[in-house]
A and B are shown apart, each in its own frame.
Chain A
Amino acid sequence: MAALKPLLDAECGTTNPLIKLSQFYTRDNTLVTQDGLIKPATNNFTNANLTGGSNATIDELVNEYHRPIAAPNTFHLEGLLTGLRLADDTIDNTNKHEYEWTTQFLDSLTNDFSSFSTNTKTNNNFSSSMIHPLSNQQIQTSQNIINDFNIQQQQSQWMPWNEQTYIPSTSTFPLNSNSTFLDQQSSTVDTGFDNDTVKAAQNIFALLQETQFAADSEFKDFVENVAGGIGEKSTVDAKKQEATGETKDVTVDKWINEFSNDLSNESEWQHDWAADAANLSSLDDQIPRSQSWLRHLMDNDDSYSEYKFSKTNVFLDHSNPFEEGLKRLQAHDIVNAVLLFEAAVQKQSNHVEAWLYLGITQSENEQDGPAICALKKCVELDPKNLQAYITLASCYANEMLTNEALDSLRKWLANNDKYSHLLSNRRSQTTTNEPRLIDELVFEELQELFLQAVSLSTNPNDIDSDLQVCLGVLFHLPGDYDKAAECFNTAVLAKPDDALLWNKLGAALANGGQSEKAVDAYYHALTLSPGFVRARYNLGISCFNLSAYKQAVEHFLTALKQQSDGIGPQGTHVQMSENIWRTLAIAIGHLQRPDLEQSVGKKDLSKLLHEFKIE
């Protein structure tokens, strides 16, 4: 019996190994049925997990939202800790919640095994199918629960799209993974719990004693400790933050003050905590919280307000530059397309499409600065231009302007007839009109909205590739590159001939450290669009990361050459990308050729091209 226990017993929040095994089996079947339409054109992404995974992912997403939250088994830990936290609060609903979670906990224990496993099956599909660093941990049965949970919570800082967030949060169990924003450290400061918490813990402990559920786990120890009046308060704090994260600033403030006052000892932890609280309440020097975000936006506004046109543009006198621009774009002649669109807007400054295409092509031309300028002009003229918003989001993401990127994504959603209703539904919960102060709140909210949007499509073959791109950009922002890559991959499945999508996929893979796969994606992009400067630049970067410095240099030089070909052979005012020159310099540095470094410094392109034999 004891030997079988690890096999059959489920740890809190995970599923038992036998059920897991059966999951793999059933999952495979899912893959097969969708096979015909999902298999990509080329074979380099036949990593079943990547493709099938994302579809099963979407499937699961849909199921998540349609399935009622029956068994709160997966909520165990949160419920308990929430209960602990709530018991700790001086807020009125203490008693109510205490009973609520106790009941729930008891209920969950008596739930039948199959419902438990079906719920967690969903969860584990993510952990098993995706490139998930913690998947191993979850499969080990001896893993202690607290660690698991803590890591999940902490890990979710970097990968917010973890299983728990798929389950729509109820008011009792705020599931946002923002838990440890303010204090990530699970410090082992022994601060006392007050009576309510201790009582609650004693309750749990009693229950635990009766069941074999968490028999020898550290969780039990933890509860024991809490019951005894000591323990890691930080975990509780984490939940505390989580709970109040969703409510208005006032509550957060109140809670911070409350909390600072509650602490009775003078540990370093408390000092740090208070410092953080101070930080939170004065984010940007002395600027009131609600305006710091706005100011950040305004600061950046200046650099992107006026588009700087090329000094020499041979196409300025062209009769119909816009049309010609489109043609050049079709022919993948990005650089000339840029010039033509510039001419088009100079001819007619309210030409929405021209600004849009100027933005898009400049972005492809590895010039995000001008791209942002152009796109901003476009949305000024046409505030409902979805393509502009989605391109803006990518550009802002590249420039590390997180707030602006989130803002663009939100606007895409708000102006999208298919999904705008999701935003208006949400509006009733919180006032979303005022600018949000902290990135993470906006991020969490947007994440939920986008996931809801994805779940709207009941047909798994109907992939809204734009939506997937938005989701991908969203995940890219906090550095969740694996998930971003999954989304872009899904988008690519729907539109395998879109070079931009292949490039995005490559970039997400590369930033996540998967350079070889990235190279593959870039080759797809470049095959489809040989003049795609950005893809070539990215390819160079990946070669660099793989230590293929000579190849990297060659790619950078090719990219620069393409850019300089855009203007006549004299090319004194060539609009080449600073990024590419800079990275070229670094790459050449690795080649140990001081003579070349001089040429780079002088931007002597022809000499370098000659040196590396590039026509």
Chain B
Amino acid sequence: MTKEDQNSSSSVELKAKTAFDEINKRAKNQPAIVKKIGAIVLFDITKDGKFQQSWTIDGKQGIIYEGKPNEGATAQVTITLDDNDFFDLALGNANAPALFAKGKLKVKGNVMLAQKLSILFKEQSKL
């Protein structure tokens, strides 16, 4: 698995890859979950300030893949954050608003759409 990664992304190992694999696993258990996001979200993962790799969460098609959005799809939200922070976020150890407030997470686009991502990261308690 790692060898492939080093070919496709830059030669830096990203925790984000592991995280996205986990998310995909979870999504498989719950097919409708990605569609619940309903929008196309682009994650730009950086490391030490430099851009490393993108992942696209396509809430319309219900798929998650590495790289920028495919042909014909435009991201409605773009989130930029560091690899480590993303890992914390994905584990549910950090939450997006807090990261945002600390300036660690940058959002471009419809913020409320971005909020929906939390269902991918941890179990939501129900009102």
Asked whether A402 lies within 8 Å of B127 as measured between CB atoms, the reply is: no
A477 touches B115 (CB 8 A): yes
Whether A276 is near chain B, meaning CB under 8 Å from some CB there, is yes
A282 to B96, alpha carbons, bound, how many Å? 26
Please count how many residues in chain A sit with their CB below 8 Å of the partner chain's CB atoms. 62
B8 at the interface (CB under 8 A from A): no
| Residue-wise interface mask of A (549-569) relative to B, using a CB-CB cutoff of 8 A (1 in contact, 0 not) | 000000000000000000000
Q: From A579, which residue of chain B is reached at the shortest CB distance? A: B126
A545 touches which one: B38, B92, B127 (CB < 8 A)?
B92
A538 interface residue (CB < 8 Å to B): yes
Set of chain A residues within 8 Å of B17, measured between Cβ atoms: none
Contact yes or no, A400 B119, CB < 8 A: yes
Query: How far, in whole Å, are A158 and B118 apart by their CA atoms in the complex?
Result: 13
**Judging by beta carbons under 8 Å apart, are B29 and A585 in contact?**
yes
Total A-B residue contacts, Cβ distance less than 8 Å:
122
Interface size on B, residues (CB 8 A): 38
**Cβ-defined contact, A507 with B126, below 8 A:** yes
Judged by a CB distance under 8 angstroms, whether A182 is at the interface is yes
A157 on interface, CB distance cutoff 8 Å: yes
Interface residues of B in 65-108 (CB under 8 A from A): 74-76, 78, 80, 92, 95-98, 100-103, 106-108
A511 is an interface residue with CB less than 8 A from chain B: yes
Pairwise interchain contact B126-A279, C-beta atoms closer than 8 A: no
Contact B110 A440 (CB under 8 A): yes
B interface, by DSSP: helix, strand, loop or mixed?
Answer: mixed
Q: Are B101 and A185 in contact (CB under 8 A)?
A: no
- In the assembled complex, the Cα of A614 lies from the Cα of B97 at a distance in Å of 39
Tell me whether A184 and B101 are in contact (CB under 8 A): no
**Which partner residue on chain B sits nearest A155 by CB separation?**
B101
Interface check A398, CB cutoff 8 A: yes
A477 to B98, CA, bound (A): 15
In the complex, what residues of A have CB within 8 A of residue B95's CB?
Answer: 479, 512-513
| A134-162 Cβ-contact flags toward B at 8 Å (1 or 0) | 10000000000000000100110111000
Compute how far the CA of A330 lies from the CA of B98 in the bound complex, rounded to whole angstroms.
Answer: 40
**Interfacial chain A residues near B122, Cβ < 8 Å:** 545
Q: Are A440 and B127 in contact (CB under 8 A)?
A: no
Q: Are A133 and B98 in contact (CB under 8 A)?
A: yes
Is B2's beta carbon under 8 Å from chain A?
Answer: no
Residues of A within 8 A of B125 (CB): 506-508, 510-511, 518, 538, 541-542
CA gap between A476 and B124 in the complex, in Å: 12
* Residues in B whose Cβ lies below 8 Å from that of A439: 110, 112-113
Is A478 a contact partner of B112 (Cβ separation < 8 A)? Answer: yes
CB pair A184 B107 closer than 8 Å: yes
Say yes or no for A85: interface residue by CB 8 A criterion: no
Chain B nearest CB: distance from A503 CB in Å?
8
Q: Which residue of A lies closest to B119 (CB)?
A: A400
Find chain B residues with CB under 8 A from A506 CB. 125
Residues of chain A within 8 A of B80, CB atoms compared: 185
Assess whether A398 is in contact with B126, with CB atoms less than 8 Å apart. yes
When the two chains form the complex, which single residue of B26, B75, B78, B111 contacts A157, counting CB atoms closer than 8 Å? Answer: B111
**What 1/0 mask marks residues of chain A from 460 to 479 whose CB sits below 8 Å from any chain B CB?**
00000000000001001111
Residues of chain A lying within 8 A (CB to CB) of residue B103: 151, 154
Complex CA distance for A449 and B110, rounded to whole angstroms: 22
A512, B95: Cα distance in complex, Å: 8
Residues on B with C-beta less than 8 A from A511 are 118, 124-125
A sample of 15 inter-chain contacts (CB < 8 A) reads A133-B101, A159-B97, A181-B111, A276-B108, A279-B75, A279-B109, A399-B36, A400-B119, A438-B110, A439-B110, A476-B127, A478-B115, A479-B96, A538-B125, A542-B125
Extra 11 A-B pairs, beta carbons < 8 Å, given A478-B112, A511-B124:
A133-B98, A154-B101, A155-B101, A157-B107, A182-B109, A184-B107, A398-B124, A398-B127, A478-B115, A479-B95, A538-B125
In the A-B complex, list the 10 residue pairs whose CB atoms are closest, starting with the nearest: A158-B97, A510-B125, A507-B125, A439-B112, A394-B127, A479-B115, A157-B111, A155-B101, A184-B107, A538-B125
| A contact set with B: CB distance below 8 Å | 133-134, 151, 154-155, 157-159, 181-185, 272, 275-276, 278-279, 282-283, 296, 366, 368, 394, 397-400, 402, 438-440, 443, 473, 476-481, 503-504, 506-508, 510-513, 518, 534, 537-538, 541-542, 544-545, 579, 582-583, 585-586
